[in-house]
């Protein structure tokens, strides 16, 4: 019988709140592994004193280096624990899409619930069933069971120029309204996007996808990641 207890697991018995903070750290740290209490507070929509208290607890676990009035520094251990929470979320999203036929716009909220299951064995088995995917349905890299993650050289569509042709690779927002917006315009992962025109007034893009022209707002192009 498969043991899903998580005994011997490399996933610590963290609380739901701790996992949400870990995931926030993963998303908002800069390239040096630093983040401020204020940035975390805004990202989580949690008051700063609460964030401050949690980060003191994280420092006790050696997940962050905490010094008063200085940015937090996420340790290697902290980054690994954060990556493992993200791994659970992204594997779940991929499983829902590939094995249960959910649309990419319908999986985020379900994954938010299932990511808190405390069993590395469960998620390793899910990984095996999916044949070890490197990316989730939104194009985000899935950390491996050791917390390692593939580095990507991507840029926002909004930073591209008229006349360029790029490949739609990922999104930075998993909101169902945004994903529906993209789906309705046939803007799906790995599609080739020809940038025809950029409006000077509102920075909206006129693009061509599969021979059809679409107009994308600046708000949308800021959340689409592409590669050349």
- What is the residue-averaged pLDDT of the chain? 92
3-class DSSP string for 187-222: CCCCCEEEEEEECCCCCCEEEEECCEEEEECHHHHC
Q: Which of 164, 165, 92 has the alpha carbon at shortest distance from 127? A: 92
Query: Full-prediction pTM beyond 0.75?
Result: yes
CA 60 to chain centre: 26
pLDDT digits (tens, 9 = 90+) for 129-139: 999 999 999 99
Neighbours of 52 (CB within 10 A): 14
CA 47 to chain centre: 23
CATH 1.10.10.10 in the chain, residues?
18-74, 81-151
Contacts of residue 111, Cβ cutoff 8 Å, sequence gap at least 6? 89, 90, 92, 93, 96
pLDDT digits (tens, 9 = 90+) for 147-203: 999 888 899 999 999 999 999 999 998 889 999 999 999 999 999 999 999 999 999
Which of the four pLDDT bands, split at 50, 70 and 90, describes residue 5? Answer: very low
User: In terms of DSSP H, where are the helices of the chain?
Assistant: 16-28, 37-44, 48-60, 76-100, 108-114, 120-129, 176-184, 218-221
> Of the CATH numbers 3.90.800.10, 3.65.10.10, 3.30.70.20, 1.10.10.10, which one belongs to the domain with range 18-74?
1.10.10.10
Which superfamily is assigned to 155-227 in CATH? Ferrous iron transport protein A (FeoA) (2.30.30.90)
pLDDT digits (tens, 9 = 90+) for 54-89: 999 999 999 999 998 899 999 999 999 999 999 999
How far is it, in rounded angstroms, from Cα 124 to Cα 131? 11
The topology (CATH level 3) of 81-151 is Arc Repressor Mutant, subunit A (1.10.10)
pLDDT digits (tens, 9 = 90+) for 79-125: 999 999 999 999 999 999 999 999 999 999 999 999 999 899 999 99
């Amino acid at each position: 019988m498969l043991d899903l207890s998580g005994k011997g697991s490399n996933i610590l018995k963290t609380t739901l709140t701790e996992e949400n903070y870990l995931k926030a750290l993963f998303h908002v740290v800069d390239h040096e592994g630093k983040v401020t209490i204020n940035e975390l507070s805004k990202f989580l929509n949690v008051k700063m004193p609460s964030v401050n208290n949690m980060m003191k607890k994280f420092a006790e676990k050696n997940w962050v280096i905490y010094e008063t009035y200085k940015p937090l520094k996420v340790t290697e251990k902290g980054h690994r624990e954060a990556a493992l929470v993200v791994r659970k979320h992204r594997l779940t999203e991929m499983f829902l899409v590939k094995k249960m036929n959910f649309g990419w716009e319908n999986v985020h909220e379900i994954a938010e619930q299932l990511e808190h299951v405390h069993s590395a064995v469960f998620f390793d088995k899910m990984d095996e069933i999916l044949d070890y995917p490197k990316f989730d349905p939104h194009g985000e890299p899935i950390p491996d069971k050791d917390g390692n993650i593939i580095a990507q050289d991507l840029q926002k569509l909004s930073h591209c120029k008229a006349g360029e042709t790029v490949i739609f690779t990922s999104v930075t927002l998993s909101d169902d309204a945004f994903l529906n917006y993209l789906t309705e315009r046939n803007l799906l992962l790995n599609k080739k996007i020809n940038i025809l025109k950029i409006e000077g007034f509102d920075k909206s893009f006129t693009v061509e996808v599969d021979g059809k022209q679409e107009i994308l707002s600046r708000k949308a192009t800021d959340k689409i990641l592409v590669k050349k």
